[in-house]
Amino acid sequence: MILKNGLLASLFLTVLFCGTALAQQDAQYTQYMYNTMSVNPAYAGSRGQLSIAGLYRSQWVGLDGAPQTFTFNLHSPIRNSNVGYGLSVVNDKLGEGTVQETYIDGLVSYTVDVSLQGKLSFGLKLGGNLLNLNFEQLRQREDFEEAVITDNIENRFSPNVGLGVYYHTNTFYVGLSAPNLLETEHFDGSDSDSNTPDFLSKERVNFYLITGYVFDLNDNLKFKPALLTKVVGGAPLQVDVSANFLFAEKFSFGAAYRWDAAVSALAGFQITDQIMLGLAYDRETTDFGATQFSGGSFEIFLRWELLRSFEKLVSPRFF
């Protein structure tokens, strides 16, 4: 693997080796408003019909071996009940196979009516992740030879559990969640085994707050501001704000800002009543974004839903 000027290698070395306790964060998305189940299990089944979606994110375009994330999920309510279910698969990759994590989770939700339009859902996620770490990729660099002395990691499984609560009407939503509650330690520096590196990689609990509101500006135009806030120990507070417009129930466009990190442009197309395509592009606002190595980041999102008829739709919503 060729790394431009060693930038990605240095980044990986910093993230993996620089401290005794590191906060490993969940994958981030610009189109989180269309990928809510990845951050809140209580969202499962809330759209009222079978919904299947995939999202691909390429981080820092133009940098060899930069992070890539692929997400697949499906969810649906169970007919004549208050129960919803879902499946989520997330694959995160850094480098040409240097680090790869695959998260596989099953989700279940229970929804109660709290008003004429308001629904409150409680969600549970059970699953885990498979970690692959190829130190041989790093041994190819002379400056890594002495630091990387451990064996490769192949399909190391770590279980996890997550919780969430989600309230919504046809125009408003708010949710609070912790999708991964178990703080898995991937390495233990106190191990006496000489093949074990003296660093610790730890998955910290990520807490999410999401909210948004849909304003009907006229018969053909809707406006939705939205917010995602993520809190995790050992890392800066992440705040994502976005503003999207929906025209004629077919075309959406807007912008987003990730606090002290990136600005984004978003567009969506309701190709048919069942199929939606979403696109997003991020431009870094950090010093890294000003370098020649970052061509920004992009996402592509595709969703298919099993619609019976418009009259029978439980929640024809802009979220």
pLDDT confidence of residue 293: 56
Q: CA 263, CA 285: separation in Å to the nearest integer?
A: 7
Answer whether residue 152 shows pLDDT above 70.
Answer: yes
Answer whether residue 48 shows pLDDT above 70.
Answer: yes
DSSP, collapsed to helix, strand or coil, labels residue 113 as strand
138 pLDDT tier (thresholds 50, 70, 90): low
For 56, other C-beta atoms within 10 Å of its C-beta total 15
> What pTM was computed for the model?
0.83
Q: CA 36, CA 240: separation in Å to the nearest integer?
A: 14
Residues 6+ apart with CB under 8 A from 67: 59, 60, 92, 93, 94
Strands 262-270 and 275-284: antiparallel
The token duo for 296 is 């920004």
Across the chain, mean pLDDT equals: 81
Would you say 144 and 197 are in contact if contact means Cβ atoms under 8 Å apart? Answer: no
35 pLDDT tier (thresholds 50, 70, 90): confident
Question: What CATH class is the domain 4-312?
Answer: mainly beta
pLDDT confidence of residue 235: 77
pLDDT confidence of residue 6: 47
Domain ranges of the chain: 4-312
42 pLDDT tier (thresholds 50, 70, 90): very high
139 pLDDT tier (thresholds 50, 70, 90): low
150 pLDDT tier (thresholds 50, 70, 90): low
The token duo for 228 is 């995602």
Segment 157-168 mean pLDDT: 95
